[in-house]
Structure 1
Amino acid sequence: MQRAELQAYLQAFLQVDKFRDYAPNGLQVEGKAQIKRIVTGVTACQPLIDAAIAYQADVLLVHHGFFWKNEPQVLVGMKQRRIKALLAHDMNLFAYHLPLDAHPDVGNNARLAHQLALQDARPVTDSPQELLWRGQLPQRMSAEGFAEWITKQLGREPLHLPAVGDVIQTVAWCTGGAQDYIDQASALGVDAFISGEASERTFHSAAEQGVHYYAAGHHATERYGIQALGEHLAQQFGLEHKFVDIDNPV
């Protein structure tokens, strides 16, 4: 397929125009016009770029790309090396941030729910930009048992900030760096909230509002959306697709 066709499809499929984001969504670095092979990954780091080059990909499709708000505009050092490698191999870089978090089928929140077998998973409002989701476990678990379940399903032990009570059934979540949604989760009356990271203030919010908090890793909670998007494109357009997971403990 042609690059322009892929770009237009992703723009519509992910409803990009409905989001105000911290970085441009879509084509960030232009490469060859004809697309046959795609590599997906969480972040456009050098090891992922190198893996895409080794696969002879035409497109590197990521959740975290380049050109973030307040990021230095000059192309020097690490950023220069990354972009130089993409340009040298005529490789397109596509990146989708909030639109991928929010998508109801291949989004990070939707796919995390699938990975954790959460039932009745849905955004807490009808807004297409809603990033906070809620659902429930098929059966109640202890707080410790839920931490063990997250570890098993994500391959990473979460940081658990405990609250009063030891029964988990209702859960809210938002992948990545969304720890401050814990206050909205508390207002929903859920037993637990999951995100990727934790801040110092998160400990107090969890303890004082009675919500168990599980910081399951920014990377670990956001591996599944971009992989699902790549698989969708492969099925939709007959493209070759490879997901590359660059290990990241954060």
Structure 2
Amino acid sequence: MSSLVIHRVTTLDLAVRPIVWPFAEERRAEITAHFAEKQRERPKIWNGRVLLGRGAAFMDGHLAATYFETDFASFLAWRDWGFPDPAVFNGFGMGALRASDGAFLMGEMSQHTANAGRIYFPSGTPDLDDIRDGALDIRGSVVREIAEETGLTADDYAAEADWHCVVSGRVIAMIQVLNLDMPGDEARARIEAHLAREAEPELSAIRLVRGLSDLTPTMPRFVTAFVEQQFASR
């Protein structure tokens, strides 16, 4: 998974299994120290339980992989240290909100979050709340993240059936287009009203992407690659 590639799939088979992660076990002291440093920088981050993946395989419009549970501190260290265990990947769902006028809506992460200042579609590292019947429910994770970050519910958008799986290094972003029945400015105003009611919102601003000129270096490459493909197909 070294070069960026986009797979379009219709089915996800993401089993969750009890796997011991040698990286997290063998480097525990270093991980603990690293997380303590990060908490000094951003006291609001906490060491919850998250899910990471192994063994991703794409075939005939299908993605299969195995997920395992670990702590956020181990995930953060693995990410910050350049992904020292190459067998593991960070695979998560993203809801690509698309307004009726074709604009995509992205959020800028607030300063208290681990990804402060980054701009991308609503998403989050999968956690234990996303497990259904022994499998990772990415669709449910997207619905949850959209609701938490923007206040929009599944009744507010029509989700397309396919997933655009953007593979970039040790990241797999499983992106689902969510079509809103409202123009971009109206959708942004509605989300901003939701953020104004939140005591500590995850997002600090909402950005409209109407064309390639709206892409910025603060957006992850897997996000801009997806947007580029979407605009090229219009």
TM-score normalised according to structure 2 size: 0.32
Relative contact order (alpha carbons < 8 A, sep ≥ 6): 1 or 2 greater? 2
Higher helix share: 1
Higher strand share: 2
TM-score normalised according to structure 1 size: 0.31
Q: Which of the two has higher C-alpha Rg?
A: 1
